Homo-oligomer: A and B are copies of this chain.
Amino acid sequence: MTGIALVGAGRMARVHAASIAAAGAQVATIYDPIEEAACSLARNTGARVAATAAEAMADPAADAIMIATSSDTHVELLLEAVRTGKPVLCEKPLASSYEASRKFVAAIGEAAARKVFLGFNRRFDRGHAAVREGVHAGRIGRLEQLTITSRDPFPPPLEYIPRSGGLFRDMMIHDFDMARSIVGKPMVSVTAHGSSIIDPEVGRLGDVDTASVTMLAEDGTIVTILNSRRCAFGFDQRIEAFGEKGMLLSDNPRQSGFTAFTREAPGTAAPILEFFMERYGPSYTEEIRLFIDCAREGRDMPVNAIDGLMAAYLAEAATTSLAQGKTIILTGPDQEFSK
């Protein structure tokens, strides 16, 4: 059985603790700056409580490390974790900016970066994964167009906007990673459009709440990403991959198989899933299972700090494109990572 040092005891840490048990591993040690939170989660999992993150990570009963703390602590904790030589999983984002991500990868080196599992959980959604696997298996031949739609059910509070890094870094980051994982080829240009159409206040804070990004991949594949901070009918999360031999679609699952047929509402289905724990809950379980497998076998992580860096790079380019009102041509050393 694999023992895990869990750094953080908040909401995501509790979700991960359940997945750890489901995967047949166990939480060995927990650290959280709020001791009460650590103790409570320790009681439920049979773990011991560590006095510091470093102590938790160094615990001999911990074969692997999971970091589920606030975003601003990720880089520092990751550096600590990498020093232990143990496999580590960190919640996204890797760092607060592309620049910080780049420095982190430079500091630990590419080989080590590929051993850091980065929690882009949506890759493990059953429908999205079936699209990616179908594309990679050649079911639609050469990929020609990829369209990703991500719409949150409701916007975050206005006070969150200034510290969010902007829609592209905060929200579309998942879609940049998804696009990279499906296309599997370097992007050569990014063009962003956006509006603060839901709430003009967002515009005054320098951000957008509705956005569209077009990317061209090196082989001509056209990627389109649509984001909205608000969606009246639920958590709209879809992917459409179109290629020479057909199309693969990951549509929104519904809450049940219920449909009403009446004269007024002639075919009203159950709503789509509400928000991320409903829709992506199972993907977290899958993610943790995969991390534990890779950790046991000492493999490179299938989604890692290099992916975090590259998604941040695309978010950076989109932010620049919107600000300058023009297409950004992607060049430079970072391109090499996606080869």
Contacts and interface: CB of A to CB of B under 8 A. Distances in A.
A209 B181 CA distance: 25
A224 B268 CA distance: 24
A197 interface: yes
Interface residues of A, number: 71
A262 B140 contact: yes
B262 A228 contact: no
Contacts of A222: 193-195, 210-212, 226
A218 to B, nearest CB: 11
Given A197-B142, A216-B193, A260 B236 contact: no
A220 interface: yes
Nearest to A245: B232
A246 B268 CA distance: 11
Nearest to A282: B256
Contacts of A304: none
B244 A230 contact: yes
Nearest to A259: B249
A259 B222 CA distance: 21
Interface in A237-268: 238, 242, 244-263, 265-268
Interface stretch (A101-109, A123-131, A169-177): A123-131
A214 B214 contact: yes
Contacts of A276: none
Contact of A220 (B130, B134, B195): B195
Contacts of A224: 212, 224, 226
30 contacts: A126-B255, A127-B257, A130-B256, A130-B270, A134-B260, A145-B212, A145-B228, A147-B226, A191-B191, A191-B193, A193-B214, A195-B221, A197-B220, A198-B244, A212-B222, A212-B224, A224-B224, A232-B262, A238-B257, A246-B260, A247-B261, A248-B258, A249-B259, A253-B257, A261-B272, A265-B265, A266-B271, A267-B272, A325-B327, A326-B326
